[in-house]
Structure 1
Amino acid sequence: MKEIMIAVKDVSMRFRLSGDRIMSLKEFVTAKIGGKFTYNEFWALKNVNFEVYKGEVFGIVGRNGSGKSTLLKVISGILKPTEGMVKCNGNVVPMLELGSGFDMDLTGKENIFLNGAILGYSEKFLQAEYDKILDFSELGQFIDVPIRNYSSGMLMRLAFSIATMVNPQILIVDEILAVGDEAFQKKSRDRMMQMMSGGTTVLFVSHNLTQIRELCDRVLWLDQGQVHMLGQAEEICEQYEL
């Protein structure tokens, strides 16, 4: 019997979008008080169901606006679903937005301890892992520079190094392997493969079907917030390309 690490049951996510063109706070308050403020409802996700098993690399594909990022935020606990429930059996490390959880005025070294603390790890543990994180990031002397001076590639190397060195039980990755040079992308893929062999469960979103085929066991295809197909990676990728 396979151990279920993520269970998504009947998840729907509704957003309310203003139906009025409000140009100022005064206009908003006036419309609200007068009962003239209108909303348009938008369902980013509708009745999404699936399970992810321990040690599996589970891919998610879909066109822009299909609900992929919303789904990842719901699973990560950043958003609470309007309907349904998500259960995660293990600590979740989400890598969803470049530099999220970082303080741009602090150095790379300071952000290792800040980000690690946010992820729930002790200072003692991070001290023990610090050299490994620094070596993997390849930032060298730039680790003592405020990260506001980092390029997007340097930020992603730091974020990936922290997240993957703390050995999460569930890792959520959104297009992260698309950032950085080819050598670091290969090293990142190798690190992910190493983690997966150690039992880490990975939720992986990418527009790169080559990476999806290479890394994923099963793939969920989202279309307009609903499950269009769910199956083996090769099968879903073939249909998605049609």
Structure 2
Amino acid sequence: MIDAPQVLTPPAHRERLPVLEIEDLSVRLLLHRERIRSIRDYAIRTLKRRRDKQDEFWPLREVSVTVNSGEILGIIGANGAGKSTLLKVIAGIIPPSLGSVVVRGRIAPLIELGAGFDSFLTGRENIFLYGSLLGFSQKELEKRFDRIVRFAELDEFIDVPLMNYSVGMTARLGFAIATDVKPDLLLIDELFSVGDAAFKKKCEERMESFKAKGVTIVLVSHDLKLIGSTCRKVVWLHHGRIAAAGPADQAVVEYQKFSASSSV
């Protein structure tokens, strides 16, 4: 039986409970499926599966993580380690195959660049579109509109269709919306790899301010300097499993040593 992610309404004493609890999470994906045209095809396919488990892939295996209010958790690892898959499970996009995920509060996912946006709509229209997906009314978004545009530095382009935005402009708009609505849990996947240095600095400062306000952040990045400077603790994923978890400086050093030895 598949355990669906649980998104719970924050209780009155939420601060006593972790914002994010992941226990023994595993995810199984089927690599391909063949069309079954007859009972004979089904029988052959079933026998083949018994002999060959290559058609299934486990991007995550037995992952357990707890993140408290106001913490910034860094997720590091090589490409294909399961980092993005983990964020998608937390966001409810991919269901767990085994284990459980509990989120207490509102989630704002910045997982895939442009997700939640419509490229044919203007930046202005996309603020209301994405904001509504995060659960905010038009009236609430109207109050926040000027602040979002100002932070994203898109005053001159806010009425331009998103299809004409650069990758960096799209990232700025997404971050400005998701962080202005102040979620309980913010998920970020490699967002800062496409922005300029000045905007990256603004984002880091906003994340730091979030810590004091109790906003929890899960940050996936290959930028180990960013991870080390912003995260309190880090999880290093390797082939879908936790290779190390602990204080940011220790986990980053272990990962760097492993990466250096693997490249020799």
Q: TM-score range by the shorter chain?
A: over 0.9
Structure 1: 5+ residue stretches without partners:
21-27
- The corresponding residue for 1:18 is 32
1:241 aligns with 2:256: yes
Structure 2 residue ranges without an equivalent (≥5): 1-14, 50-54, 258-264
Against the structure 1 CA distance between its residues 130 and 84, is the aligned structure 2 distance closer, same or farther, given a 3 Å change threshold? same
Query: 1:157 and 1:57 mapped to 2: Cα distance?
Result: 20
Residues 174-183 or 113-122, more deviating? 174-183
Question: C-alpha separation between the residues in 2 aligned to 1:33 and 1:215?
Answer: 57
Q: 1 CA distance for matches of 2:191 and 2:161?
A: 22
1:2 Cα offset (Å) = 5.5
Secondary structure of the residue that 2:188 maps to in structure 1?
A: strand
Where does residue 130 of structure 1 map in the other structure? 145
Superposed counterparts of 1:72-83, under 5 Å: 72-83=87-98
How far 1:141 sits from its partner (Å)?
A: 2.1
Structure 1 residues 31 and 172 mapped into 2: Cα distance closer, same or farther (>3 Å)? farther
Q: What is residue 24 of structure 1 aligned with on the other side?
A: none
Tell me the matched-pair count. Answer: 235
In 2, the alpha carbon distance for the partners of 1:112 and 1:44 equals 33
Q: 1:1-242 alignment to 2 at 5 Å?
A: 3-18=17-32, 28=35, 30=37, 34-35=41-42, 36-37=44-45, 40-242=55-257
RMSD: 1.7
Write the deviation string for residues 11-36 of structure 1: whole angstroms up to 9, x where unpaired. 1000111277xxxxxxx354897225
Deviation at 1:179, TM superposition (A): 1.7
The amino acid across from 1:3 in the alignment is L
Letter aligned with residue 10 of structure 1: D
Cα deviation digits, residues 139-181 of structure 1 (max 9, x gap): 1121001101111011001101100100111101111122211
1:162 aligned partner, one-letter code: I
Letter in 2 for 1:151: S
Distance 1:32 1:107 in 2: 52
Query: How far off is 1:50 after superposition?
Result: 1.3
Which deviates further from its counterpart, 171-180 or 34-43? 34-43
Contact 1:11-1:84 within 8 A present in 2 as well: yes
1:208-232 residue CA offsets vs partner (Å, 9 max, x unmatched): 1100100000001111111111100
1:193 deviates by 1.0
TM-score (norm 1): 0.93
Query: 1:16–1:124: structure 2 CA closer, same or farther, 3 Å change rule?
Result: same
Please give the alpha-carbon distance, in whole angstroms, between the structure 2 residues aligned to 1:211 and 1:226: 23
Alpha-carbon separation, structure 2, partners of 1:41 and 1:69: 18
Q: Name the SS for the 1:144 alignment partner.
A: coil
Letter in 1 for 2:235: L
